Amino acid sequence: MIQSEIRFEHPSVVDAKSLFRLAACNDNLDLYPEYFYLVWARDFRKTSLVAKSGDRLLGYILAYIRPDDNRTLFLWQIAVDPSVRSSGLGFSLVKKLIDSVGEDVSAFEATIDVCNDAAYNTLTSLAKQYETNVSQKDLFLESDFISSHHKETLIRLERKKELVNEGVEQE
Ligand SMILES: CC(C)(COP(=O)(O)OP(=O)(O)OC[C@H]1O[C@@H](n2cnc3c(N)ncnc32)[C@H](O)[C@@H]1OP(=O)(O)O)[C@@H](O)C(=O)NCCC(=O)NCCS
């Protein structure tokens, strides 16, 4: 994959089908109904990004500003097409999203299954770039779910240094 051929933009409602399709081909992702992706692409598009090559969706990150803490961006779900994994796209998606939300947002949170090395390493790579430590705690335990579900561990990064804004197409 040549990174320069990839376009990063905020999703729109027409991307919802592709978001659902990409989520569906990831076994270790919670798959939400199609309607979820439609609403997300309408209401949370400014805090989310898609990566495309031509019309093909290669990856996405969905995030929101926490309603009770507008300095914290919660990274809800990230996925990269299996054919282009481990080539830096996941990292670029998170970094470009962080760049695009502005300096008022100073903390970034995500919950992960700690066994998900790719997700964990993507976040810790970001922490290195920000020159900060990663804080980690259990947010939701298995017993908080009705269905069988791994515990969700909260990873929190605090912004310590400015990142350069690069390459996000704004409307
Ligand atoms: C998690 C995910 C988005 C990462 O995207 P990616 O494009 O493959 O990741 P990158 O190439 O940008 O790599 C980011 C870091 O993770 C590491 N990494 C990537 N794939 C890895 C793997 N399979 N195992 C361990 N580490 C991995 C990279 O080495 C890099 O770390 P480094 O900077 O220290 O070298 C991708 O693996 C994915 O879509 N997984 C399925 C969905 C998922 O689990 N999402 C997370 C929960 S919401």
Q: Does residue 33 surpass a pLDDT of 90?
A: yes
| Distance from Cα 29 to the centre of ligand 1, integer Å | 13
How far is residue 167 from each of residues 3, 49, 170, measured CA to CA in Å? 11, 12, 9
Cβ–ligand 1 distance for 51 under 6 Å, the answer no
pLDDT of residue 2: 61
Cβ–ligand 1 distance for 85 under 6 Å, the answer yes
| Distance from Cα 157 to the centre of ligand 1, integer Å | 17
Domains with residue ranges and CATH for the chain: 3-160 (3.40.630.30)
Provide mean pLDDT across the span 157-166. Answer: 61
| Distance from Cα 155 to the centre of ligand 1, integer Å | 15
User: What number does the ligand 1 atom closest to the CA of 93 have?
Assistant: 12
Q: Single out the residue of 47, 62, 51, 57 nearest to residue 100, CA to CA.
A: 47
pLDDT of residue 157: 93
Provide mean pLDDT across the span 79-93. Answer: 96
Q: What is the pTM of this model?
A: 0.92
Cβ–ligand 1 distance for 23 under 6 Å, the answer no
User: What number does the ligand 1 atom closest to the CA of 121 have?
Assistant: 16
